[in-house]
C-alpha cells in the first residue's frame, strides 16, 4: 500500500488546532513539571514503556527523590536501583538505565547528547526513546511513534495492514505531521489525544481536532484500526518455587547477572520448563518438610508461567543453621520482600497478604 498524501494546508491547520487543544486540555503529568530536563524526560520515557502513567508515577517520584540528577543515578549501587525498580518489570531495562546514566556521566560530562542520532548510541536507547528525548527534551523535529500515536495514525490513514507489519506505513504517515514548530509538544499532544479522545474503544471522534482529516472517522470505522493480527498465544512454562521462612525472613539468592531477572534477588526455584512438574520430579533444595501452598500465574514477555509454591516454615535455629551451611543463600527480612520481582512476591502472597498492582 502507499500512504495517500493529505492536503498540506489541511495538515498544517489541524496540527495547529491539536496543539491549541493540547494547551487547554493536556494532562498534568509529573514528568511535565521538570521543564525540559533531559534526565527527567529520559527517566519517564524508560519507565513508561509497557506500563501506564498511573503505575509509573510513584516510581518516577521515588527515583527523583533518591537520585535527582543523572550523576546521582550513575553513582548509585546496582542493587539499590534494581530494588527500587522492582514492580516495574523488564529488569533488563533497569540494568541498561544504570549503564546509560554511567555512560552519560563518563563519556558526555553528565549531559545527554541533543540529537536523535547521538542519543541512539547510548545504552538502552532504541528508535522510540531517541526520538522522544530528542523531541521532548531538545525540541527536535523527531518522528516519535509509540503505541498511542500508532493508533491515531492507523486511523487517520485507515491503514489496512495489521501491526507489526503495518508499522512502516504508520511511521511514514506520522512523519508527515512532524514540523520544526513546537516539535516537542507535538508528540505529547498526540499522546494526550490518544489518551482522552482517540481511545482504543469508543473514540470521541466528534470532539477530535483531527477529524476533518481522518479516513477511519469518515468511513465510520474508527474502532477497526489499527487492524489486529491473529492472536498468538504465549508458550506456557511450569516451575516450583521454594519459600523457606522462620517467620522473620525468607531465603533468597542473587540471580545470575545475565538472563531473565538477571542480577536481581529471587526465591530459589526449579527450572521453568515446558512440561508440568510432577511431585516426584522435584528435588527440594533442602530437606525441610515443605507444604504445598498452591499455585499462581505470571506472564513474562515471552512466556506465561504457572508456578507451584512449596513452603517450609522452620524454627530460627534451623534457619540460621541452614544459612551457615549454604553458600550463596541469604536471609531477606519479610518487611523487605516487596523489593523482589513480582514473580516472586506472588509466591509470598499467602504468607504476607501482599497487594499486587498489575504492571
Residues that bind ligand SF4 (CB under 6 A): 152, 155-156, 197-198, 203, 205, 208, 210-211, 214, 216-217, 222
Burial (Cβ within 10 Å: 0-12, 13-18, ≥19) of residue 206 = exposed
Pick between residue 104 and residue 194 the one whose CB is nearest to ligand SF4.
194
> For residues 190 and 356, what is the distance between their CA atoms, to the nearest angstrom?
31
Contact 346, 86 (CB under 8 A): no
> For residues 45 and 98, what is the distance between their CA atoms, to the nearest angstrom?
14
Shortest separation between residue 207's beta carbon and ligand SF4, angstroms: 8
Pick between residue 156 and residue 265 the one whose CB is nearest to ligand SF4.
156
Shortest separation between residue 198's beta carbon and ligand SF4, angstroms: 3
Contact 31, 60 (CB under 8 A): yes
Shortest separation between residue 215's beta carbon and ligand SF4, angstroms: 8
Shortest separation between residue 218's beta carbon and ligand SF4, angstroms: 9
Shortest separation between residue 191's beta carbon and ligand SF4, angstroms: 13
Shortest separation between residue 19's beta carbon and ligand SF4, angstroms: 15
Pick between residue 223 and residue 281 the one whose CB is nearest to ligand SF4.
223
Neighbouring residues of 246: CB distance < 8 A, sequence distance ≥ 6: 313, 314, 315, 316, 318, 319
Pick between residue 87 and residue 209 the one whose CB is nearest to ligand SF4.
209
Pick between residue 119 and residue 208 the one whose CB is nearest to ligand SF4.
208
Catalytic residues: 45
> For residues 343 and 334, what is the distance between their CA atoms, to the nearest angstrom?
16
Pick between residue 223 and residue 297 the one whose CB is nearest to ligand SF4.
223
Shortest separation between residue 205's beta carbon and ligand SF4, angstroms: 3
Contact 310, 292 (CB under 8 A): yes
Pick between residue 155 and residue 346 the one whose CB is nearest to ligand SF4.
155
Rounded to the nearest 10 degrees, how much is the dihedral formed by the CA atoms of 120, 124, 126, 132?
-80
Amino acid at each position: 500500500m502507499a500512504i495517500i498524501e493529505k492536503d498540506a494546508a489541511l495538515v498544517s491547520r489541524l496540527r495547529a488546532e491539536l496543539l491549541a487543544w493540547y494547551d487547554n486540555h493536556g494532562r498534568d503529568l509529573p514528568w511535565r513539571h521538570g521543564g525540559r530536563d533531559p534526565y527527567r524526560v529520559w527517566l519517564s520515557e524508560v519507565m513508561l514503556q509497557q506500563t501506564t502513567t498511573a503505575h509509573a508515577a510513584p516510581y518516577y517520584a521515588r527515583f527523583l527523590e533518591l537520585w535527582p540528577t543523572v550523576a546521582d543515578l550513575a553513582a548509585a549501587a546496582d542493587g539499590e536501583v534494581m530494588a527500587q525498580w522492582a514492580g516495574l518489570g523488564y529488569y533488563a531495562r533497569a540494568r541498561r538505565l544504570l549503564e546509560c546514566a554511567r555512560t552519560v556521566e563518563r563519556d558526555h560530562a553528565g549531559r545527554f547528547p541533543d540529537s536523535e542520532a547521538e542519543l541512539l548510541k547510548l545504552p538502552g536507547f532504541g528508535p522510540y526513546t531517541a526520538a522522544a528525548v530528542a523531541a521532548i527534551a531538545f525540541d527536535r523535529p523527531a518522528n516519535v511513534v509509540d503505541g498511542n500515536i500508532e493508533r491515531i495514525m492507523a486511523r487517520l490513514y485507515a491503514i489496512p495492514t495489521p501491526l507489526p507489519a503495518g508499522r512502516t506505513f504508520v511511521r511514514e504517515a506520522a512523519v508527515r505531521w512532524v514540523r520544526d514548530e513546537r516539535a516537542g509538544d507535538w508528540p505529547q499532544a498526540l499522546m494526550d489525544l490518544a489518551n482522552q479522545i482517540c481511545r482504543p474503544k469508543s473514540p470521541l471522534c466528534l470532539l477530535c481536532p483531527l477529524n476533518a482529516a481522518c479516513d477511519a472517522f469518515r468511513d465510520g470505522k474508527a474502532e477497526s484500526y489499527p487492524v489486529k493480527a491473529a492472536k498468538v498465544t504465549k508458550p506456557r512454562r511450569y516451575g516450583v518455587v521454594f519459600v523457606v521462612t522462620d517467620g522473620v525472613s525468607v531465603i533468597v539468592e542473587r540471580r545470575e547477572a545475565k538472563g531473565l531477572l538477571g542480577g536481581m534477588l529471587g526465591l530459589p526455584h526449579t527450572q521453568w520448563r515446558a512440561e508440568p512438574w510432577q511431585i516426584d520430579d522435584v528435588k527440594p533444595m533442602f530437606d525441610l518438610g515443605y507444604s504445598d501452598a498452591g499455585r499462581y500465574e505470571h506472564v513474562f514477555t515471552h512466556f506465561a508461567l504457572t508456578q507451584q509454591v512449596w513452603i517450609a516454615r522452620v524454627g530460627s535455629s534451623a534457619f540460621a543453621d541452614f544459612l551457615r551451611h549454604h553458600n550463596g543463600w541469604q536471609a531477606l527480612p519479610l518487611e523487605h520482600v516487596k523489593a523482589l520481582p513480582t514473580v516472586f512476591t506472588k509466591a509470598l502472597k499467602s504468607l504476607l497478604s501482599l497487594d499486587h498492582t498489575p504492571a
